[in-house]
Amino acid sequence: MSRNNLHFVNTILDRIKEYYTLKTDLDLANFLEVHRSTVSAWRRRGAMDYGLVLRKCTDPDLNWLIYGEKTREDTYPLIQNREQVQEETENENDPETLKNRLDAYQKVTKAIRDLLSQLPD
């Protein structure tokens, strides 16, 4: 385990707590639907189930969650608000809507690739 991985995992877990206003690691474990010892083990080992975390944490901007960059204005959020989702559903085949979805997909894919490249072999 490297100190970088340990710091990286702890930072992501702390950002999840911050975003969802969770006070304790027990609250975090309940949110992620894992045992609290699982979160403790992730923190100790500097490794976690990234797939689970990404499936559960769909609201925060991934650039912020992973890198700490507050770029929400510069990126296409996965879901910004109910009105936007409704509008996009109505304009499902609109070229601009499709382009925005493709851009969002590419950014999320890149963030996941970057995240996975930092995992130990």
* % residues pLDDT > 90 (the chain): 27
Instruction: Give this prediction's pTM.
Output: 0.57
Q: What is the pLDDT of residue 74?
A: 43
Domain ranges of the chain: 1-57, 58-121
Provide the token pair at 55.
């499936």
Question: Of the ranges 48-62, 88-102, 104-118, which one carries the lowest mean pLDDT score?
Answer: 88-102
Tens-place pLDDT, residues 43-78: 999 889 988 888 888 888 777 888 777 654 444 444
